[in-house]
Structure 1
Amino acid sequence: MACDDHISSCVKLLALLVVLCAARASADRTKTLDFDVKPGGVVQTFSAKLKKYKCTFTYASQGGTNEQWQMSVGLSDDEQMFSCSVWRPQGKSYLFFTQFKAEIKGAKIEYATAYSQTAVGGQRDLALKEEEYIVSESAVTHRQGTFRSELSKLLVIGRTRHDEL
């Protein structure tokens, strides 16, 4: 199995686990909100909070008209993991993103990935190349000069910070 195939399989498994956990989670452990991504080149922000954890999506885009997007935030049953997903339910976005940033507060990023679109037929997501974005302890940000302005989904999973007794 090629390395890319292995990584792709791991990403699919992780995404499936996130979806299954969200489906089983109670209302106080998950939240999904609709919002419009607005073109015009102006920096926009959308946030969702769950308990003491927060996810903020900041972006600027050009072209077309508003698109409906969604943000889901989730907390594992043991409150050790916090997840944030931002995506366009219809798949491919027709907007050109000049910048993006997904930031989480209250957790340290363990895993993050970004996608440019859904492949023809909707069978799989096409991941952005690693050189198109930067992952830090608290944010996923476009990389100036290499980001190709296409974005349709972001997934961020962080380990929550717990104070030692």
Structure 2
Amino acid sequence: MAIINNLAFLALLVVTLTVALASADDRTKTVEFNVKPGGEVHTFSEKMREYECSFTYASQGGTNEQWLMSVGLSDDDGLFSCSVWRPQGKSYLFFTQFKAELKGAKVEYASAYSQTAAGGQRDVTLKEDEFTVGDSTVTHKDGKFRAELSKLTIIGRTRHDEL
């Protein structure tokens, strides 16, 4: 398990560095979108070549918030990443549900975060019983998810055949 966590961390680091170093090329894209309260289910999606990340949610309270979604491909096209977050920090919305889905990639690593009430700028990993990681999805768990979400990160292995 430690090896898998180390590999997941390494993969996250590779994708993060790729995003940071290659943000001007066709391997990364960051777009802004509104997270809307009111309890209705909304979906926001972004594509990178033949890969896609979708974020589906319902939230309550407050007003619209500006969020960002970044998608990226590693240099060898072996990893597809998707991150969804609120750049201003703590979200004041209560998420009644969320689901992120990768199309064209199998989830290798996923993490979800809320932020502390004290200061509101420190990411706190959601407890493992608050969300479920599937082959292509990361989903809240009914009755366990505490309605706080500030960031979601997923890294998937693309389905490229080796020569």
Shift of 1:124: 3.6
Residues 13 and 93 of structure 1: is their aligned pair in 2 closer, same or farther, counting only changes over 3 Å?
farther
TM-score by length of 1: 0.87
Residues 68 and 157 of structure 1: is their aligned pair in 2 closer, same or farther, counting only changes over 3 Å?
same
Letter in 2 for 1:133: F
Q: CA RMSD in A?
A: 2.4
What are the ranges of 5 or more consecutive residues in structure 2 without an aligned counterpart?
Answer: none
User: Which residue number in structure 2 is paired with residue 83 of structure 1?
Assistant: 81
- In the TM superposition, structure 1's runs of 4+ consecutive aligned residues that sit over 3 Å from their partners are 9-18, 118-124
User: Which residue number in structure 2 is paired with residue 45 of structure 1?
Assistant: 43
Work out whether 1:18 is the aligned partner of 2:2. no
What are the ranges of 5 or more consecutive residues in structure 1 without an aligned counterpart?
Answer: none
User: Which residue number in structure 2 is paired with residue 130 of structure 1?
Assistant: 128
Asked if 2 retains the 8 angstrom alpha-carbon contact of 1:119 and 1:126, the reply is no
Letter in 1 for 2:42: Q
Shift of 1:146: 0.2
Q: Alignment partner of 2:68: what SS?
A: strand
Q: What is the 5 A alignment of 1:1-165?
A: 15-25=12-22, 26-117=24-115, 120-121=118-119, 124-163=122-161
Give CA deviations for 1:105-162 in whole Å, capped at 9, x if unaligned.
Answer: 0000000000012574566410000000000000000000100000000000000001
Q: Alignment partner of 1:131: what SS?
A: helix
Shift of 1:24: 1.6
Asked if 2 retains the 8 angstrom alpha-carbon contact of 1:69 and 1:87, the reply is yes
Aligned length: 159
Shift of 1:42: 0.2
Give CA deviations for 1:40-80 in whole Å, capped at 9, x if unaligned.
Answer: 00000000000000000000000000000000000001000
The percent identity for this pair of structures is 70
TM-score by length of 2: 0.88
